[in-house]
Amino acid sequence: MELAFGPKDAAFRDEVRSFLDEKLTPELRAVGRRMTSVYADYDTTMAWHKELYAKGWVAPAWPVEYGGCDWSVIQHYIFSSELASAGAPPLSPMGLGMCGPVLIGYGTQEQKAYYLPRILNGEDFWCQGYSEPGSGSDLASLQMSAREDGDDFVCNGQKIWTTHANYANRIFNLVRTSKEDIPQRGITFILIDMDTPGLKVDPLVMLSGEHIQNQIFFTDVRVPKKNVVGKVGEGWTVAKYLMQFERGGHAYAPGLQVRLERIRRMASQETGDGGAKLIADASFARKLADAASEIMALEYTEHRIMSALSNGEAPGAESSLLKTRGTELSQRLTEIALEAVAYYAVPFQPHATAPGGPVPGAPEVSPNETPAGPDYSWPVTAKYLNDRAGSIYAGTNEIQRNIMAKAVLGL
């Protein structure tokens, strides 16, 4: 595979760096450093979305005719790497990375013409209605019903673990339109306005204290049949298509490398039990080296997949591989960071971090009060707690290993 930077790629890298130097404000960089979730808060997300949209870079992976960028695979990787290195906050993937690609692949011309521009400019903010209280990893067992009534479906049921549903104005949903012998059949992919009568959102507070997740109750919610994406009863096919983007739609390695370097800097400042700098402790240094080698292996895997994509090949089971290794390495880094900051991990001070949503019940803090510990320690514990979900969302890593075993090993 050939991934060396040519003059065109080097010039593109310089263009990206220049844009980030100009538009990535100190406030946005501070959020990137202090994030405790994989999601930035809504206001930060939309502020950064606005800048990228104005530049034409908000959805670079989309086809050019729908607002994407005519970039090579290497340029996409350069862009991801430079965003991570600069500490840019992430955009919400629900519209740009999931619903948008699904509409491009399965939507009607009317749906594309209406929704895609609104996703691009940020007018529509989406959430995902997949999991239910009894249907998580076994998603095909979902029970939320959609009964035909004239030109509408009448929807009843519940969705759970719905990220940023408290901000979203639209949700893409999996519903059961018929009961079949095979559970994957009879499922339909449908788009719903969040302000439709009968729809109610309740908060779910995470271990880290953040209100990012929600549960949604649907009671006789009427949805026009024209909001179905794909064919009625064939939503499982649409959902599997979307999952390729959710699980393997971005590069993990650049962000993991930035976080590892941040931990190295922490360890260079913190002292161990013997009074020496933690970075000099052989046991701790070994953990850093092990993590570095595994991140490098993941990076080379991403490079290999990039090379295949540039030749027109589909990602297939590799999306499960990237999701599994990426999330597990992310969790590993949160554990090493906890060890690096030691007792500074104890204080609960969300006011000093950049949570992905409000923190209900957080203690009142005076504007003049200085947070405890060095600034690099402030988000460590909340990030550790939040990241426990990484190996669960988008299909548990156990499920991903089953997919790889079947698709790659033939088991």
pLDDT digits (tens, 9 = 90+) for 304-335: 777 666 555 555 677 788 888 999 999 999 99
CATH 1.20.140.10 domain position(s) in the chain: 251-407
CATH class of 251-407: mainly alpha
Cα separation, 183 vs 176, whole angstroms = 9
- The reported pLDDT for the residue numbered 396 is 81
Domain 7-91 has CATH 1.10.540.10: yes
- The reported pLDDT for the residue numbered 400 is 80
Mean pLDDT of all residues in 224-239: 94
Would you call 162 helix, strand, or coil by DSSP? coil
- The reported pLDDT for the residue numbered 165 is 97
- The reported pLDDT for the residue numbered 248 is 47
CATH 1.10.540.10 domain position(s) in the chain: 7-91
Assigned token pair, 224: 């026009």
CATH 2.40.110.10 domain position(s) in the chain: 125-244
Of the pLDDT bands very low, low, confident and very high (cuts 50, 70, 90), residue 394 is: confident
Q: In which element (H, E) is residue 143 found?
A: none
Question: Is the backbone of residue 260 left (phi > 0), alpha (psi -120 to 50) or beta?
Answer: alpha
CATH class of 125-244: mainly beta
- Asked if residue 245 has pLDDT above 70, the reply is no
> Which residue matches tokens 């509409």?
103
When mean pLDDT is compared across 183-187, 193-197, 207-211, 249-253, the lowest value belongs to 249-253
